Structure 1
């Protein structure tokens, strides 16, 4: 008989909490917040699209509860500006409950997972000033690395296209994803270790690829204990795999560092016998090792390992994925591809390969990249922030410890801002400077937690996309449009890897490619 009262008790529980939140001036929230699981029953993937649908119903600021965790989903430019400008310091923390932060983030001490404070500010300074500064990116060494890896990408595609062909103009179907990943990873390994991705010893290249793949696999998995602490035991298997991931990462990084140190000793011996006055920018690892020598108690091995992981993960996958989305869009819109090639042909011609110094004179290529990042930002909800104190957003009280999910995908696809946002139209960025437009366009985030690798990413994207358009003709493999479906997870990956029919554009470029 008493069981009849259970539904009544549940309804009263939910109604009481609903009106209690209203009295506390909390943002709009879905009424049905179930005991223990909260609003988990509403979640679908891709998460950005799920949060956008909730915003259509409840407004651009939605308050959600996931187990013990309070979450603020923000889907408007004005609300994001309040969070990441007016309340930037308040929302500069990271959630300190995420299982992946404990292991991949070296117990929340890496630049991605560390809370706001002196330690994070120091890591941020190292990344922005010592490792990814404009000086380093603009140095002859940095430009040479990017240009060299793009040339090698072009050469690999050229070799695949003409291999076994009777005529050099014959096109071939090429699987683009591994080629793009190889290029992006090689840029990062050369900047970090001073050598190409495929030039690493033993099975290090395969292990690096596996490490990046595993990281994203863990980042896309829901860990129940992150939201409901007493259910942490359900994540026992996942935690064991994360422990194994950390052990493998540390072992791989230690091997790569030892390999680098041994090679530096050999080079030092040779340099004593040779007068080499060429000035080169130090690899990023060399900078970190020198910092470790001067402050060994602070720059421990684990700190260096986590910095290297952040650089490799952030610099490889996002660049390769964005180029894959860009060419998927171009293949579905051949008129845009033709216009971009005409711009390159008029400015660069076909007697030489496109250089990084040409990019400022190719505004339409930049428009293509901006439009791609608008439609398919690599991290559509950014990495979660967390409030370190009570603050006001949109007139609502946001309590300390609330997770913040900034839905940049929803903002960058808002028809009230962009007009026909589902249509690929690079012309909308004509005359627009930069890749951040207030808080309406911010594919790399904003505020103190903005991605420090934005400058490097733009240079790699621009040079790679421009060079591939210059050197090759691109067509779909059949009459069907390229599949643009997204993997239903937290990041912006294509379900179907891009395949394209590729052919060298003309004899002049072919002659240049054979000399690379």
Structure 2
């Protein structure tokens, strides 16, 4: 007779648990929740590559504000301009933190670098250094000669190889790395097939960095896996950090001894600027801070910029009428007797439209770097608990048919009349608010002038009648699955100008 009472008691307990759980969820007023959420793993079972498209499908079904659980972490998934605006303006300070993840612990020096530091005095100091000392308009203008010279070297390289198809991806990548490293340290590593040992190690470090950054670490969401021991990814990250520290410390020592290749011995590169600050405050401007600072700038300014240029040229080759319109604009505003310069960019609005449309279709950061709430807040009328990781799905916003007409169609004209690279919160290629990318000005200069130069100096076409394959590959920054190969021919109208190189 006791057994039925036991069953009844268990049923009552279960009913009470379900009722109170539902009541708590109702009073908590959390955003819509995806069903089912399994014990321990939560919604991790849903995550399939590419992540930005998987999350976009979830938002299509459940709405632009969704509550998820990735293992032990609460996640707020946002995929509309209004929700993104509310997170990055009204709740900007609240969401200014970074979640603590393995990459930030190891490559972010225990969450102290500009990219991984949470909001506070350390982050404010680093942001000030970036905005005032390193990436200000004044500093970028000082380093303009480097970008001009690298632009001429790029044109010379393409002229030398114009008789055969060009692997555009590698050309853009090496060009961008040369620009960035010369601005950072005064060194230039890529020059044709010549690559010294230092350059080879530098190339390996960057390759391994992007490979490992594209890897996922389940331990960030299931801490028990981390407690069980050091995983293979962690071992690789620790080894990579050690190699990066040795390499960039060597650059610092060379410049400290005055052995760096200064541009015309007139301008200080970025490391030299930081070393001069070290003289006045050695306790704060340590070698470790300098190493990590320039690494953040280097990583943020290379793959993203070269990838955007490759996507832009792929789109232009599939839409030759757009390419011709851009070339006509350059001819009309710059002429055929001098090379396009950074100062010409405000007079090339259609080129800016092409860049914006490329960034809309293929954003280098399809999901903005994760934020984390430092306190309870409200988004879209829903209560968001402290410690919630925020994911803004930029790709979903920029491909939403409710926001854009024919969102999958390449149409630069849609941005005519827009100044800059932002269209409210519909287009956020560099993020917004306190954690927006401080290198936006440099990126736009590098991408804009490089594209303008190669469009001005060459006629471009596909290697065959087939359209350029626009399939997206796996990776952190939406790389092309098939690297772009194209044919370029020097323009006869610019023969006199090109002969001066």
TM-score, length-normalised on structure 1?
0.90
For the residues of structure 2 that align with 1:396 and 1:266, how far apart are their CA atoms?
56
In the alignment, which residue of structure 2 is the partner of 1:132?
135
In the alignment, which residue of structure 1 is the partner of 2:461?
475
Report if aligned partners of 1:128, 1:452 keep a CA contact under 8 Å in 2: yes
For the residues of structure 2 that align with 1:297 and 1:334, how far apart are their CA atoms?
56
In the alignment, which residue of structure 2 is the partner of 1:113?
116
For the residues of structure 2 that align with 1:201 and 1:310, how far apart are their CA atoms?
24
- Deviation for aligned residue 1:201: 8.8
- Deviation for aligned residue 1:483: 1.2
1:417 counterpart SS class: coil
Report if aligned partners of 1:136, 1:281 keep a CA contact under 8 Å in 2: no
Return the match for 2:248 from 246, 253, 278.
253
In the alignment, which residue of structure 2 is the partner of 1:197?
189
Return the match for 1:297 from 265, 271, 283.
283
2:202 counterpart SS class: helix
Q: 1:197 to 1:21 in 2, by over 3 A?
A: farther
Superimposed CA distance per residue, residues 180-236 of structure 1 (whole angstroms, 9 cap, x where no aligned partner): 011111111111112323379942222222222222222221112111111114751
The correspondence of residues 89-108 of structure 1 with structure 2, limited to 5 A, is: 89-96=93-100, 98-108=101-111
Q: Which moved more, 1:321-330 or 1:233-242?
A: 233-242
- Deviation for aligned residue 1:281: 3.5
1:70 counterpart SS class: strand
Return the match for 2:225 from 207, 231, 240.
231
Q: 1:398 to 1:342 in 2, by over 3 A?
A: same
Return the match for 1:331 from 317, 335, 352.
317
- Deviation for aligned residue 1:17: 5.5
Report if aligned partners of 1:212, 1:312 keep a CA contact under 8 Å in 2: no
The correspondence of residues 8-407 of structure 1 with structure 2, limited to 5 A, is: 20-96=24-100, 98-139=101-142, 142-162=143-163, 172-198=164-190, 202-232=196-226, 233=228, 236-264=231-259, 280-407=266-393
For the residues of structure 2 that align with 1:335 and 1:13, how far apart are their CA atoms?
64
Number of residues paired by the alignment?
487
For the residues of structure 2 that align with 1:195 and 1:303, how far apart are their CA atoms?
20
Report if aligned partners of 1:223, 1:235 keep a CA contact under 8 Å in 2: no
For the residues of structure 2 that align with 1:122 and 1:203, how far apart are their CA atoms?
35
- Deviation for aligned residue 1:360: 1.5
For the residues of structure 2 that align with 1:121 and 1:383, how far apart are their CA atoms?
18
For the residues of structure 1 that align with 2:309 and 2:18, how far apart are their CA atoms?
47
RMSD (CA atoms): 2.4
For the residues of structure 2 that align with 1:36 and 1:414, how far apart are their CA atoms?
32
Q: 1:235 to 1:494 in 2, by over 3 A?
A: farther
Superimposed CA distance per residue, residues 438-465 of structure 1 (whole angstroms, 9 cap, x where no aligned partner): 2111100000000000000111111000
In the alignment, which residue of structure 2 is the partner of 1:5?
none
Q: 1:239 to 1:487 in 2, by over 3 A?
A: same
In the alignment, which residue of structure 2 is the partner of 1:512?
497
1:465 counterpart SS class: helix
Structure 2 unmatched runs, 5+: 1-10
Q: Which moved more, 1:426-435 or 1:295-304?
A: 295-304
Report if aligned partners of 1:105, 1:112 keep a CA contact under 8 Å in 2: yes
The correspondence of residues 425-504 of structure 1 with structure 2, limited to 5 A, is: 425-504=411-490
Q: 1:16 to 1:366 in 2, by over 3 A?
A: same
Report if aligned partners of 1:331, 1:476 keep a CA contact under 8 Å in 2: yes
Q: 1:501 to 1:201 in 2, by over 3 A?
A: closer
2:162 counterpart SS class: helix
TM-score, length-normalised on structure 2?
0.92
For the residues of structure 1 that align with 2:19 and 2:36, how far apart are their CA atoms?
9
Q: 1:235 to 1:483 in 2, by over 3 A?
A: farther
Superimposed CA distance per residue, residues 20-69 of structure 1 (whole angstroms, 9 cap, x where no aligned partner): 43431110011100111110111122211111111111000011101111
Q: 1:17 to 1:303 in 2, by over 3 A?
A: farther
For the residues of structure 2 that align with 1:174 and 1:119, how far apart are their CA atoms?
45
Report if aligned partners of 1:188, 1:316 keep a CA contact under 8 Å in 2: yes
